[in-house]
Copies of this chain bind each other. A is one copy, B any other.
Amino acid sequence: MTDELRSIGAPLTDSWPALDNVVGEPRPLPAAPLPAVRPSVALLTDRYELTMLQAALADGTAHRHCVFEVFTRRLPAGRRYGVLAGTGRVLEALPHFVFEDAELAYLEQNAVVDRRTLDYLANYRFTGTIQGYVEGEVFFPGSPVLQVEGSFAEAVLLETLILSILNYDSAVASAASRMTSAAGNRPVLEMGSRRASEQAAVAAARAAVIGGFAGTSNLEAGMRYGLDTIGTAAHAFTLLHDSEREAFASQVASLGAGTTLLVDTYDVKQGVATAVEVAGTGLGAVRLDSGDLGGLAGEVRRQLDSLGARDTKIVVTSDLDEYAIASLAAAPVDVYGVGTSLVTGSGAPTCGMVYKLVARADSSGVLQPVAKASANKASVGGRKAAARRYGRDGYAIEEIMVTGPDTAVAEWTPQSDDLRPLLAPLVVDGAVDSRWVGPYGVANAAINHGMVRAELPRGARRLSKGDPAIPTVDLRLDDLPD
């Protein structure tokens, strides 16, 4: 036995504890099965949000009026822009952010917070105001993509949930936008559910569509957000049958000749020949999921054409990312399917967005800008407004960050025609603007993203490394004449 083993108290015996009896005999299942998920989202929260609340309730500062801003300090290395996604999901989660008996009992039994705090939480509803960039909008370092305003108590509690949603969804939408950009007019389909945590997969499908994807394999995302869903068969279906021909015949009989047949289980050339024999020249598509996709697509296209299946499309999948998509631009590919790279943000699985207190009322109720000085994390105090400036050709030139006296910033609207303001009201006094939620919100966000991406300078869509597509420029209102 090793020292390490001894140090964790594990006997190295013939019968291995884990397969036999680690801490007792199997117990019967609980009467009610454990929920895999719970509709309440209030405990999807870092413990420190609640301990801060407790201390602030005790000293009275919990009721100070506050402004929190969500922004990212930098884009992932080499990226030209980010794409905001998740806002609609934040708004959908808001009515579920309530502390009911189960949550309160847990917090009490584990002494997470005191009685006063439990009483506050029992009555918690967000009654503040949220402004932000519209979902699907592009963002740059420092862009205040969400601004949450209310008492410290009600705003601080939302930090973890808001960042969880925006950091993941925006990472996926940002990757999606690069992929659809690289694909040009060819549709890109989302098939990454198996490579993302199961509920994250729904968010990923939604974010992909905001980033320009044409559909998703994920049925739950289809149901919740009205997305087009896609998918016909995997290799298992071919292997299940006694021959590839029987598998194809079964699929065509059930799904019609317009289906997509997966032709690479054994030999691609034979698979394509069999597919057209079985389905006829009206076969919808063949899918290639392995090998040198570019070369293979060319061979398969020639084979399909020679068989008379000129309208049969070629779908390629298998470890695609934006670079692989771009490298297939000259290949006779009709549709791209993307999985792993998309749902993991293509190398940037989270956006690094932060939720920072930028202003709070002082003891006399006057809103004061605040900022920390921590090394590498220094922040700019005070509420921001934001706008994008356009040139005469319609392309974006600059991101404008407006700072200055709070009232002036809050009321600021651009005076010149070349500036488009970027902050829109999303929640007013606790009421959610329904334009941004549900299937309707996703459709809006996707349209919005298409428009704003098209306005970026052309270099913004290149995949090569580079700086943000447009610079961020500060505008201090107190530097201006009245």
Contact = CB atoms under 8 A, between A and B. Distances in A.
Contact of A61 (B8, B36, B201, B250): B250
A266 B434 contact: no
| Best-surrounded residue of A264, A360, A394, A451 (most CB of chain B within 10 A) | A451
22 contacts: A10-B450, A14-B417, A17-B447, A22-B435, A23-B443, A29-B431, A33-B95, A34-B224, A35-B92, A45-B218, A51-B233, A54-B255, A64-B240, A114-B254, A163-B194, A195-B350, A196-B200, A196-B350, A199-B200, A290-B375, A291-B375, A340-B350
Nearest to A344: B349
Contacts of A101: none
B255 A51 contact: yes
Interface string A1-43: 1101101101010101111001100111110011111110101
A374 interface: yes
How many subunits of this chain does the assembly comprise? 2
Given A232-B51, A233-B48, A357-B236, A37 B34 contact: no
Contacts of A431: 29
A197 B204 CA distance: 9
B237 A2 contact: no
B61 A240 contact: yes
A308 B362 CA distance: 34
A95 B33 CA distance: 7
Nearest to A191: B46
Contacts of A96: 33, 35-36
Tier of interface size on chain A: 35 or more
A193 B164 contact: yes
Interface stretch (A165-173, A272-280, A297-305, A397-405): A165-173
Interface string A345-371: 100011010011100101100000011
Contacts of A448: 17-18, 22
Contact of A38 (B17, B39, B152, B394): B39
Contact of A48 (B35, B95, B231, B267): B231
Nearest to A433: B26
A250 to B, nearest CB: 4
Given A39-B35, A48-B217, A193-B44, A239 B200 contact: no
Given A47-B217, A374-B265, A444-B23, A394 B103 contact: no
Contacts of A29: 431-432, 434, 437
Contacts of A447: 8, 10, 17-18, 22-23
Given A18-B452, A49-B234, A68-B236, 10 more contacts: A12-B394, A33-B96, A43-B219, A47-B229, A52-B232, A54-B254, A164-B194, A236-B357, A240-B370, A266-B373
